[in-house]
Amino acid sequence: MKGPLENGTLKSVPECGEKETALMPALYTAQKEHGWMSIEAMEAVAGALDIPKARVKGFATFYDMFGKKPVGRHVVRLCTNVSCILSGSEELLLRLRDKFGIAPDETTPDGRFSLVAMECIGACGTAPAMLVDNDFYEDLTTENIFSILEKYK
Amino acid sequence: MITVTINGKKIALNKPVTILEAARKADIYIPTLCNHPMLEPFGGCRLCLVEIEKMPKLQASCTQYVTDGMTVWTETEKVLEARRAMLEFLLINHPLDCPYCDKAGECDLQDSTMQCGPAIGRFKEGKRKLPECYDDPIIVTNMERCILCSRCVRMCSDVQGAHAITITNRGSKSCVEPFSGGRFDCEYCGNCITVCPVGSLMSRLHKHTYRPWYIEKEIETVCSFCGVGCSFVAQIRGDSIVRVEPRPDLGLNKGLLCVKGRFGFDYTASPSRLKSPLLQKNGDLKQTTWAEALSHTAGKLKEIKEKYGPAAIGAVASGLCTNEDNYTLQRFMRSVVGSNNIDSTTGFFYGPAQRFLEDIFGQGVTLNPMQGIANSDGVFVIGADPSAVAPVLGLQVRAASRKGIPVVTVGHMPGLKRFATCSLVPDAFSEPALLNRLISGLMKKRPVCGENEFFEGAIKKFMLSTGDDIADPCGLSNNDIERAVNELDLMTNPAVLIGRQVVQRSDASVLLLQLSVLTYLLNGRIYLISELPNDQGLVDMGCRPDMLPGGRPVFSDSMRKRYEDSYGSEIPSAQGMSLMEMIQAAHEGNLKALYVMGENLLPDLPDTGYVKEALSKLELLVVQDTLMNETAELAHVVLPACSWPEAEGSYTNFEGRMQHVRKAVHGEAMEGWKIISEVAKIIGSDFGFLTVVDILAELTKVSPIHKGITYAEMDGGKCLWPYNGEPLRDSAKDFALPDITLLKRAKDCGRPYLFADQQLFHSGTIGRNSSALSMLMPASYVKVGNALSEKKSIQAGDVAGIASGIKSAELDVIIDPDLKGMMVLIPNILADKGVMSFMKWNMNPDFKNPALDGNEIEISKLRSKAEEVSA
Ligand code: SF4
Ligand code: SF4
Ligand code: SF4
Ligand code: FES
Ligand code: FES
């Protein structure tokens, strides 16, 4: 799990002309600083931008890339949509489970990885694909996936 | 002229409307779900699809506007097929638990499916499961039934402006939730419940007690909580109100209500309802008969009048009572007792403020239609947060703000926080300095126009004597003030809303004069934020020590004569005592009898201890009320009056609109006006009032403004100021300029000052007796801002000791980061810890009302909540 918000506020509030425009970047910041969209994180965003809290919640829960649960230090978002499934991401899921003992929406006991089964992330031509935090990886195989994950401690 | 043909029927229209509206005009049915008359067209549910010739695809009739020559078909096989398909989709995840659902019988989904839906669904997969949620005390949510039309969210955000709920998640996981996911913690207007087409948002208060077809009768009536006067239909079963329902085509609220109006009405069924008369015997109140209670009251009043004279008797009227009750009480005081000692808490703010402004600008200057606010080009608010004390009026300000109109607020106004384009919070008691700076700023931009020479002369004199030297920063930067002046300068015909707090203080006349000047410079219309349903009616009925019915001054010989001739008795020419003067006189032993109708003096008057002493010195204290209360406990006689839904009558709202309050249920008590007439009869004066029609007949005969008014006219909503009457159009040719030295009095803003917190969920004794409202705000509290919280190291959840010199108590602390400086707010919720019990007061010499400014208070942390738990 990432660190708590200091005094319930964001460290860096993105600057945009209209406060509504700043909502997505601010949610992104909150996720980066806090790891997931907790009630406190959404309150912090609402407070920083002076946007009604419920509105922030509507946005934060709409997008799959904003976490709805506490996550580990790194989030592995493996695509399981049509092209990736056809190209073997189901197998990758199984391998990840064998190696780290986690199914989608679970976190390793040491807090290193959280796994999320994603819908299409737009890399169908080079499927299967995944995101680790904000880094993009494609053409995954049962071999290269583990060497990639080695980089994330 | 636009002509459109729907199903072969030609419809002529003056302006382009949506196909749906055009069809409805021609009585052609198109099913809808996401569309609602109180909301903007949305086009989300696709149930209203129609076929338009020359258009390849079906179109949503709720968003598609007609064009000239358009041909539309609403019942073709293609359309019917589309409707069936839409409904089949909507029912995929719907639990079809209609037998158990409160909405059944008035559910848009049920009705549409009956009319246009498929008979069977083809979807075999399981439905989503979301248990009904009871986390909130008032609103039950059932998201399995939700069709995601977003009517509730649009209502809450776009109309109510509360932004309390949202659609969370996406796709088939979507549902409507408040931020917390459980408790709503919102304004509880319930307007989302009104617009939900299915049983997804429901009131917990009548959960599973209600079937629409069980309703035995529906009575159109007016809310009894505040001066807005919202209309709704009271639905009755078994002689009690099951629920109240606003309608988009009804009254000035047009389908909106606030928490008090919608959920608070259960006070009428409270266990504290008075049912039989009580008489004090050996210091205890004992049940008695009407005959004994009435003859005791009459006998005592007669005796006191003979012994001490009429001036030793006073009466307290009430803005909670109808015009008919108030008229009868003043009739009693003026013709039977022969005294002008009649006033009420309406005399603390509404009455004197109106009188002052009318003296300058003429009668009726504050009576303007409410829609004018949302349609004006600017709004200025001072003295009260309308969204708390007159909530539907507050919605008008929010609507104005949503249109991009400048809204300038002065003072702590949490309900308008997001809506003010410029919100000025000056230091405590420095409003006069601020207003002066606004006025002189504005005068530099727009010279006075020469329309009212007399008043302009006064302005000049006033500005000269105050001068520009008051560069008192009043806690605001020059920039803030400049911005405010610029915003004000954009306005050409703004609404100026004035509330209680500018009048309950020693410099009230200065403030009111400044506000008059500002209004004059802005060419504005004034609205007084009325907190009781009949503040205006009470004033119009002559329940003021200086006013006869119809707003005629009591010192005018010709006016008095008109009433004397009609009543057949003499009315004193000197003005009577105001409410606080009566209390003082009682304390000094000069007032011997007080007839209190519908007011609960102890919690609502400042310095409870003093008031209690004063009341206990009376030889006769009569309390005529609907609920047992602290004042009634001290009374010699308690006379139970019919409550709001139990009697016919009328209220006059802050616009001067007279509205019919209808009898909806049967009551065990007696009508207020009848009790008074009975007492009068025993004393020897028969008013001849058999029903309220007789009272209205007399009123319309004697009061010059109320000429010819009937209940039928009120029912049509047409009974608006200036009625058919003769208002006093003349503005004063002379009035005393207020004492300018008041303006220069410096206040030490480093000390904590006490103010009343304006409560959305409460409204005096009647609110306290509503179980719904008490659930929302069960306990009193003290609210402080960040500065004070730091200075005294008090945190949220602590218990603080509050002491004002006349009273000390312990209260839970709430931190309000928007509260400026050393302000301390306490609501007037509980009688023993209400803000008024801490307040010291001085008599305002101009208005004879209590000035509550300068109430310094000691506040300190006693313990934290955590300690309390562990202890
Ligand atoms: S009750 Fe009113 S404020 Fe609360 S969620 Fe519903 S519409 Fe919004
Ligand atoms: S709760 Fe009711 S009003 Fe709100 S989206 Fe669902 S069905 Fe529509
Ligand atoms: S705004 Fe006033 S009149 Fe309207 S429902 Fe609320 S309390 Fe009643
Ligand atoms: S399906 Fe996996 S990236 Fe498109
Ligand atoms: S009513 Fe037209 S789309 Fe819903």
Which pLDDT tens digit goes with each residue over B725-755?
A: 777 755 555 566 666 555 554 455 678 999 9
Residue B46: give the domain boundaries.
2-90
Query: How many whole angstroms from its chain centre is CA B420?
Result: 20
The verdict on the CB of residue B184 being under 6 Å from ligand 1 is yes
Are A55 and B167 an interchain contact pair (Cβ–Cβ within 8 Å)?
A: no
Cβ–Cβ under 8 Å, residues B857 and B785:
no
Q: What is the pLDDT of residues B98-145, one digit of tens each?
A: 999 999 999 999 999 999 988 888 888 889 999 999 999 999 999 999
For residue B228, report the distance from its CA to the centre of ligand 3, in Å. Answer: 6
Residue B817's identity, in one-letter code, is P
Name which of A43, A55, A59 to mutate to probe chain B: the one with the most chain B Cβ atoms within 10 A of its Cβ: A55
B297 and B395 fall within a common domain: no
**Sign of torsion over alpha carbons A77, A80, A85, A91:** positive
The verdict on the CB of residue B605 being under 6 Å from ligand 3 is no
B128 and B183 fall within a common domain: yes
**Mean pLDDT score of chain B:** 92
Q: What is the pLDDT of residue B124?
A: 86
Confidence label for A2 from pLDDT (cuts 50, 70 and 90): very low
Domain ranges of chain A: 1-64, 74-150
B354 and B445 fall within a common domain: yes
Query: How many whole angstroms from its chain centre is CA B630?
Result: 24
What are the beta bridge partners of residue B659? B651
Q: Which of B268, B291, B317 is the last residue of a domain?
A: B268
For residue B137, report the distance from its CA to the centre of ligand 2, in Å. Answer: 19
B561 Rama class: left (phi>0) / alpha (psi -120 to 50) / beta? alpha
B545 and B577 fall within a common domain: yes
**Does the residue B97 lie in any domain?**
no
B854 and B755 fall within a common domain: yes
Q: pTM of the full predicted structure?
A: 0.93
Q: What is the pLDDT of residue A20?
A: 81
For residue B168, report the distance from its CA to the centre of ligand 2, in Å. Answer: 12
Name which of A38, A61, A66 to mutate to probe chain B: the one with the most chain B Cβ atoms within 10 A of its Cβ: A61
Confidence label for B580 from pLDDT (cuts 50, 70 and 90): very high
Closest CA to B90 of B64, B104, B110, B75: B110
B540 and B680 fall within a common domain: yes
- Coil, helix or strand for B690? coil
Q: What is the pLDDT of residue B867?
A: 67
User: Which ligand is located closest to the Cα atom of residue B23?
Assistant: 5
CB under 8 Å to B444, separation ≥6 — which residues? none
Residue spans of alpha helices (H) in B155-289? 191-195, 259-263
Q: What is the pLDDT of residue A61?
A: 93
Q: What is the pLDDT of residues B625-684, one digit of tens each?
A: 999 999 999 999 999 999 999 999 999 999 999 999 999 999 889 999 999 999 999 999
- Number of folded domains in chain B? 5
B693 and B760 fall within a common domain: no
Q: Which of B488, B504, B528 is the last residue of a domain?
A: B528
B168 shares contact with chain A (CB less than 8 Å): yes
Query: How many whole angstroms from its chain centre is CA B614?
Result: 30
Cβ neighbours of A57 in B, within 8 Å = 166, 168, 177, 179
Residue B310 has pLDDT above 90, yes or no: yes
Cβ–Cβ under 8 Å, residues B795 and B762:
no
B697 and B770 fall within a common domain: no
B157 shares contact with chain A (CB less than 8 Å): yes
**Does the residue B273 lie in any domain?**
no
Name which of B148, B158, B170, B179 to mutate to probe chain A: the one with the most chain A Cβ atoms within 10 A of its Cβ: B179
**Does the residue B100 lie in any domain?**
no
B309 and B357 fall within a common domain: no
A40 shares contact with chain B (CB less than 8 Å): no
**Does the residue B590 lie in any domain?**
yes
| CATH number, span A1-64 | 1.10.10
- Window from A1-5, A139-143, B245-249, B265-269 with minimum mean pLDDT: A1-5
Counts for chain B of helices (H) and strands (E), in that order: 31, 36
User: Which ligand is located closest to the Cα atom of residue A78?
Assistant: 4
Q: What is the pLDDT of residues B686-713, one digit of tens each?
A: 999 999 999 999 999 999 999 999 999 9
**Does the residue B101 lie in any domain?**
no
Calculate the alpha carbon distances from B631 to B348, B369, B604, B770 in Å: 18, 36, 10, 19
The verdict on the CB of residue B45 being under 6 Å from ligand 2 is no
Closest-CA residue of chain B to A50: B418
Cβ–Cβ under 8 Å, residues B636 and B284:
no
Closest CA to B600 of B566, B559, B572, B632: B632
Q: Which of B62, B90, B118 is the last residue of a domain?
A: B90
Residue nearest to atom 8 of ligand 2 (CA): B149
Q: What is the pLDDT of residues B189-235, one digit of tens each?
A: 999 999 999 999 999 998 888 888 989 999 999 999 999 999 999 99
Q: What is the pLDDT of residues B378-402, one digit of tens each?
A: 999 999 999 999 999 999 999 999 9
B365 and B283 fall within a common domain: no
Q: What is the pLDDT of residues A91-110, one digit of tens each?
A: 999 999 999 999 998 999 99
B544 and B510 fall within a common domain: no
Are A57 and B169 an interchain contact pair (Cβ–Cβ within 8 Å)?
A: no
Q: Please give the helix or strand (H or E) that residue A97 lies within, else none.
A: helix A89-100
Are A58 and B166 an interchain contact pair (Cβ–Cβ within 8 Å)?
A: yes
Architecture (CATH level 2) of domain A74-150 = 3-Layer(aba) Sandwich (3.40)
The verdict on the CB of residue B46 being under 6 Å from ligand 5 is yes
Are B168 and A61 an interchain contact pair (Cβ–Cβ within 8 Å)?
A: yes
Q: What is the pLDDT of residue B433?
A: 86
What are the beta bridge partners of residue B624? B597, B639
B338 and B354 fall within a common domain: no
A contact residues 89-108, partner B, Cβ 8 Å cutoff: none
CB under 8 Å to A129, separation ≥6 — which residues? A79, A84, A121, A123, A136, A137, A138, A139, A140
